Chains A and B, each alone.
Chain A
């Protein structure tokens, strides 16, 4: 059986700038794949390509063996890929519960079912006590969790998490790690962008490293940690120092 998500030779140009050039890798079913790289390496662009916000300039993306590059975001979401945003995008003037209900409607018809799905997911992400709070009133940590809750409410097969830990304090980070482990426990495949090395090294089954839009390394956390190219990308050229 082929991998769940196959990224084949994907490039994305913005004018003359290659935000992604010829990136190829697979995400296996049930894995957590960490996507790391310095700022501006093209990580979020890659998410936007997978998620359908941008079409790839070259290359193709396959999900479950079906070509998804060129589809619109809502179609890709319906096929089973959900995402969160680095800059959180809660539906501000809706309550936390309504936010999740709005995305739960993707898979169910009636309001009762949508409300039930939403309540289950709010319990799962420890947000149930805040269900009636308007989402713009939430602190950042909970807003990040709301992003995850909303993505889960679409009942995805795969979830793309874009810096779900950035700006969180250690307690919130631990809560988030717990939630991600539980998501994996439910059999959902995860691709995660993260700068926090300790977190990503402990969570990921595999890691892909991007730098200037190119894939410079791929492997398990141990291999990536010791890869000279990765060390150079993060710490600079050792010989020059």
Chain B
């Protein structure tokens, strides 16, 4: 039964647009699935390999701008950004990895944080390439409705899910977890830690970049403050995984559902809405204290909590 759960979920999602959902609901679904891709990507590097990145907006932004620049400078469809971003993001990930992966633990996190900010400032100032803060506007939308966008991101998410699962069940997965648990031990067991951390970073970056490239085509407008955002991209990527469950297959999926719904929910509250980051912050603190393994990881704890509630 459990084996077929992913297929059932995929089938349900695939027929959803046929039910005539409102544009708004479809938009929420698309955002949720896009965030689950970013979450899966972050989880591969941060959850399994233990390299906590505070700069995944860098890869998201590079993916988004690859698509955007293809449209604005080269004059071809922004959809070409999806295949091309794989190449561009890999190159950037190799450069960033060369610098940041020499650092361990909190220093790696700070390094990636800096990379995200540097790329935002670059995108703001390289006006010849990126049009700076004006951003890039895709003037012709491919589709008026959202149905096809939904199927494209669903396909990307399915591929991402399969990729993560295959990688984690292989030799790479064992090596990633070994590096997370003890880098010195891993090194002395013959694992080239720098090499395998670079692989984890590249895979994670490419998946995030694909989501970014999709974002450009879907939203039709990008600017540096949006796609290289620390609080709206990098931190939310971490939160999606923390809320859902670190180093689990379903954690990022569950986390993205909760985070997107929560963000939409809080934003629609009058006056308090502008402060949704405050709520995210409080939520993160609560989760780190009470459910360090996230919803999927601490499911037994949650069940116990509810049982106690019933007895009283």
What residues of chain A have their CB less than 8 Å away from a CB belonging to chain B? 51-53, 72-75, 77-78, 82-83, 85, 89-94, 98, 101-103, 105-106, 109, 111, 114, 150-151, 153-154
- Chain B residues whose C-beta falls within 8 Å of the C-beta of A90 in the assembled complex: 181-182, 185
A103 touches B189 (CB 8 A): yes
Does B171 count as interface, using CB distance less than 8 angstroms?
Answer: yes
- A83 with B177: in contact, given A111-B171, A114-B171 (CB under 8 Å)? no
B190 touches A94 (CB 8 A): no
A78 touches B188 (CB 8 A): no
B187 touches A72 (CB 8 A): yes
CA distance A150 to B185 in the complex (A): 10
Does B170 count as interface, using CB distance less than 8 angstroms?
Answer: yes
- Chain B residues whose C-beta falls within 8 Å of the C-beta of A98 in the assembled complex: 174, 177
A51 touches B181 (CB 8 A): no
CA distance A114 to B182 in the complex (A): 20
- Chain B residues whose C-beta falls within 8 Å of the C-beta of A78 in the assembled complex: 190
- A94 with B178: in contact, given A74-B193, A105-B171, A111-B170 (CB under 8 Å)? yes
- Chain A residues whose C-beta falls within 8 Å of the C-beta of B192 in the assembled complex: 72, 74-75
CA distance A73 to B177 in the complex (A): 18
- Chain A residues whose C-beta falls within 8 Å of the C-beta of B181 in the assembled complex: 90-94
- Chain B residues whose C-beta falls within 8 Å of the C-beta of A151 in the assembled complex: 189
B191 touches A94 (CB 8 A): no
CA distance A93 to B48 in the complex (A): 11
Does B175 count as interface, using CB distance less than 8 angstroms?
Answer: yes
Does B184 count as interface, using CB distance less than 8 angstroms?
Answer: yes
Q: How far is the CB of B49 from chain A (nearest CB, A)?
A: 13
B177 touches A94 (CB 8 A): yes
Among B169, B174, B184, B188, the residue within 8 A (CB) of A102 is B174
A154 touches B174 (CB 8 A): no
What residues of chain B have their CB less than 8 Å away from a CB belonging to chain A? 169-171, 174-175, 177-178, 181-182, 184-193
A77 touches B188 (CB 8 A): yes
CA distance A91 to B179 in the complex (A): 9
CA distance A74 to B189 in the complex (A): 6
Q: How far is the CB of B268 from chain A (nearest CB, A)?
A: 39
A74 touches B187 (CB 8 A): yes
Q: Could you write out 14 A-B pairs with CB less than 8 Å apart?
A: A74-B189, A77-B188, A77-B190, A78-B190, A89-B185, A91-B181, A91-B182, A91-B185, A98-B174, A101-B174, A102-B189, A103-B190, A154-B189, A154-B190
- Chain B residues whose C-beta falls within 8 Å of the C-beta of A92 in the assembled complex: 181-182
The B interface is mostly helix, strand or loop, or mixed, namely: helix
Q: How far is the CB of A79 from chain B (nearest CB, A)?
A: 9
B171 touches A74 (CB 8 A): no
CA distance A24 to B171 in the complex (A): 39
A51 touches B188 (CB 8 A): yes
CA distance A36 to B212 in the complex (A): 58
CA distance A78 to B191 in the complex (A): 9
CA distance A83 to B190 in the complex (A): 10
Q: How far is the CB of B149 from chain A (nearest CB, A)?
A: 38
Q: How far is the CB of A239 from chain B (nearest CB, A)?
A: 43
B187 touches A102 (CB 8 A): no
CA distance A72 to B169 in the complex (A): 27
CA distance A151 to B185 in the complex (A): 10
CA distance A239 to B177 in the complex (A): 56
CA distance A154 to B177 in the complex (A): 17
Q: How far is the CB of A54 from chain B (nearest CB, A)?
A: 12
CA distance A52 to B181 in the complex (A): 20
CA distance A82 to B190 in the complex (A): 8
CA distance A23 to B185 in the complex (A): 26
Of B171, B175, B185, the most chain A CB neighbours within 10 A belong to B185
Closest 4 CB pairs of A and B: A77-B190, A91-B181, A89-B185, A106-B190
CA distance A43 to B177 in the complex (A): 30
- Chain A residues whose C-beta falls within 8 Å of the C-beta of B187 in the assembled complex: 53, 72-74
Of B170, B171, B184, B193, the most chain A CB neighbours within 10 A belong to B171
- A85 with B174: in contact, given A74-B190, A103-B190 (CB under 8 Å)? no
B189 touches A82 (CB 8 A): yes
